[in-house]
Structure 1
Amino acid sequence: MTLRNSLLLTLSYSAQFSYPLRVSQLWLRLLTVPHQRFSKKLFVQEILVLVGRKKIIYQDGYLFFPGYERDIALRIARERRAEQKQSQIKKVVWLCKKIPWIVGLAVTGSVALRQAREQDDLDFLVVTKHNSLWLARSLLVGFGILLGMYRSRNNAHTDGWCFNMWLERPRFVLSPERRSLYTAYEVLQADWVYDQGAVQREFLLANAWVSQVLPTFYVQKFSACSVAAKIKIFASIGSLLSPIGSLLNVLAFILQRWHMHAAMTREVVVFSQAYFHPRNTQQYVTKRWRELLQEIA
């Protein structure tokens, strides 16, 4: 893949979300094929060529395609809305810290990217200790319901809490069928707001496959993990519940699996991982991306 194609593919992927990129962001998020790397010098030169030929526009520090000027204002407005949702995120973090089995929490989706729309809820990835996912979920979801904030099919509202991805330590690897460009961006855009013992670092190590398509982004995120976290990386991996606790976790899994069975569509629920994504967002994003590429061709 040429550098020019890489630039246009990266910009168009972000354009479908009305998200113009700064030059530094474009470099960070640059799509490549495995083992392909570009120098910053060539990167800047190619941008200047594309801007000079009016293939892309540089305005107010952002890069975007002709006709997408309004996306700058949209991006700024959505950044403000995302900031307004921070108070709700802090409440969820506080709750997670009170539940001993939860060791990591990341904001995902539009709020993680600081691109929240008015009606967007808060999407979370929750990480638990070994053999405790379903006990932790029963408590966190229960608190959310009691507070009237849990986002479900029957309770959809602005700022609702949507715990749509659950992982149990140390089973962080996303299965091959879940690996895609959309997922790679989601992995790296996740905003870790609670990290007990290098959870983010373990998560990135387990999903190093994303570095094949987003190498610069991956290196930047991995390097940002604190040195202190590195030291503690194995500190709590061996932390297991007692036999009674493990049994309670099994019972909690059976009960919750039975309760949600009738309403399940595309959700994936197994003992150590759960993905509550009833809509095929990945398919929609890919379709929209192709349409946009045809539009700018």
Structure 2
Amino acid sequence: MPRQRANERACDKAIKTTLTYRSIFKYPLTFYQLSTFLISSKTFDYVFFKNELQKMAKKNYIQTKGGKFYLNSIKPVSWELRKKYTEQILAENKHIFDLLKTIPWIKLLGVTGSVAAYNADKRSDIDIFIITSKNRLWLTRGFTALLLKIVNAYVRVDAEPGKICPNLFIDESYLTWPPEKRNVYTAHEICMLQPIFQRDDAYFRFLKANDWVKKYFPNFVLDYPEAFKVKSKKSIVDEIEKYVMGLQISYMRKKKTKEITEKHIIHFNKHDNGPRILEAFKKY
């Protein structure tokens, strides 16, 4: 009996913690979303979790409407409307994603942020995350920016509605997130990442390299492929990569603030939402 009660308390806490985090975005969760992205240090049996969730809703510890769950303290956004906007954004930009697919060094193109979370609205831009071949980061970034500008899809001002913001590039030799930057916010962003296309199982390799996210999201489990060895041969393109890297860093130097521009990672994090969201999470 004591163990049963301890499990009930732990499960209730995990549910409240998860809904608290999502309340920052005013976003309600379906049962599937809540169970899959449950913030917890342990896993719970499906039937046990479902019963605890129903008990909490029945006692009005949390609210439920239309099969969605949320905290009593918030007025949630329309889950259905946000889903509709997100699907519309993805459909309208399919031809652009197909265009980017012609860049041979892109191993993974995925969307992040509000679009990945299916919480986009009419004001949303589209944040994209790209994994490149080893030693092809800066060439890929250059071609990505060029193609997006040609089709007038490149974001030119902060959070420009409907535009694409390629704000994070890493190459396949830099898949594992640095220990000092691991937290619930980063783990959540990794779990929510929506792959648009991939090559050589890059999406699954990225998740496998970051299985530390299970510390926060133990129910987020995927079957990983067998180990993939990154092959890299010396090529004249390596010298072009170095040259292009130098040109772009030189161009960015005058405008650079907090952006990370290194050999294996480019992160345009001038307006990083991480600290703000983590601080809001602490206040609840």
Same fold judged by TM-score > 0.5?
Answer: yes
The equivalent of 2:231 in structure 1 is 238
Superposition deviation, residue 239 in structure 1: 4.6
Superposition deviation, residue 156 in structure 1: 5.6
**Matched residues in 1 for 2:125 and 2:54: separation?**
39
Over 3 Å counting, the alpha-carbon distance change for 1:87 and 1:46 in structure 2 is closer
AA matched with 1:142: L
AA matched with 2:33: Q
Superposition deviation, residue 152 in structure 1: 3.2
The equivalent of 1:105 in structure 2 is 109
Contact 1:18 1:75 in 2 (8 A): no
1:30-81, Cα deviation, whole Å (9 max, x unpaired): 1112xx332223322322332232111222111112253x42x522211111
Gap runs ≥5 in structure 2: 1-8
SS at match of 1:277: coil
**Matched residues in 2 for 1:103 and 1:281: separation?**
26
Contact 1:88 1:159 in 2 (8 A): no
AA matched with 2:21: Y
User: What is the root-mean-square deviation in Å for CA atoms of aligned residues?
Assistant: 1.9
Note if 1:209 corresponds to 2:220. no
Of the three residues 46, 62, 65, the one matched with 1:59 is 65
The equivalent of 1:96 in structure 2 is 100
The equivalent of 2:264 in structure 1 is 272
Note if 1:30 corresponds to 2:38. yes
The equivalent of 1:114 in structure 2 is 118
**Matched residues in 1 for 2:275 and 2:148: separation?**
30
SS at match of 2:95: helix
1:229-259, Cα deviation, whole Å (9 max, x unpaired): x36x637x2154x531001101111111111
Gap runs ≥5 in structure 1: none
SS at match of 2:93: helix
AA matched with 2:180: E
Superposition deviation, residue 281 in structure 1: 0.5
Superposition deviation, residue 213 in structure 1: 1.2
Contact 1:168 1:273 in 2 (8 A): yes
Of the three residues 21, 39, 57, the one matched with 1:13 is 21
User: When you count helix as a share of all residues, which structure comes out higher?
Assistant: 1
Note if 1:172 corresponds to 2:183. no
**Matched residues in 2 for 1:100 and 1:40: separation?**
43
**Matched residues in 1 for 2:123 and 2:65: separation?**
29
Equivalent residues, number:
276
Residue identity over aligned pairs, in percent, reads: 25
Superposition deviation, residue 22 in structure 1: 1.4
The equivalent of 1:159 in structure 2 is 162
Over 3 Å counting, the alpha-carbon distance change for 1:87 and 1:51 in structure 2 is closer
SS at match of 2:142: helix
Give TM-score scaled by structure 2 length: 0.90
Over 3 Å counting, the alpha-carbon distance change for 1:122 and 1:255 in structure 2 is same
The equivalent of 1:135 in structure 2 is 139
1:165-220, Cα deviation, whole Å (9 max, x unpaired): 10111321111222110110110111111111100111011111101110112x1x
The equivalent of 2:87 in structure 1 is 83
